[in-house]
Structure 1
């Protein structure tokens, strides 16, 4: 989920520049940092704190909707997918082997 979200966040950079008329440097730094954070957190999910960091990242991505309004929608979608992934992961880990 976080890797796909990183791709979407990177794709939002040109939208922020061309449609929302955001400064290109600022859009690149913020979007790039969020995408890089998503990739790093995805690689660190073996640690418990990374799940909290991933949840914080979801809030930050939703907040980018103040610049690119469609990110409100996409952020909520990815947030729901993130929550569902955690829920399914816990169910699988708690399942008894046959």
Structure 2
């Protein structure tokens, strides 16, 4: 779902007066591709950490446009919640 939202966010940002440059668009598309790839790798334990790093990178894309930072914070909060539920179910101490 995150990848779809990222891809759909490009055009409204450009239309609403955002100055999303070519680098910004390329980074959003790249993050969407990584999100799709990670969604198929959730069986591996390292993919959960990579998903958290993806949220941090998305928040860092706020330098291109503030709405990307907001999306990063929203999805980051959802990701942290998913990690805590995973930890509770698996009974493992720590964040991951």
Please indicate, yes or no, whether the TM-score normalized by the shorter chain is above 0.5: yes
Deviation at residue 16 of structure 1 after TM alignment: 4.3
Aligned position for 1:84: 81
Unmatched segments (≥5 aa) in structure 2: 92-96
Unmatched segments (≥5 aa) in structure 1: none
Between the aligned partners of 2:30 and 2:69, the Cα distance in structure 1 is 18
Instruction: Tell me the secondary structure at the aligned position of residue 20 of structure 1.
Output: coil
> How does the TM-score come out when normalised to structure 2?
0.79
Deviation at residue 20 of structure 1 after TM alignment: 2.2
Deviations 1:42-98, CA, capped at 9 Å, x for gaps: 11011111111111101111011111212222211110100100111221233xxxx
Between the aligned partners of 1:85 and 1:38, the Cα distance in structure 2 is 15
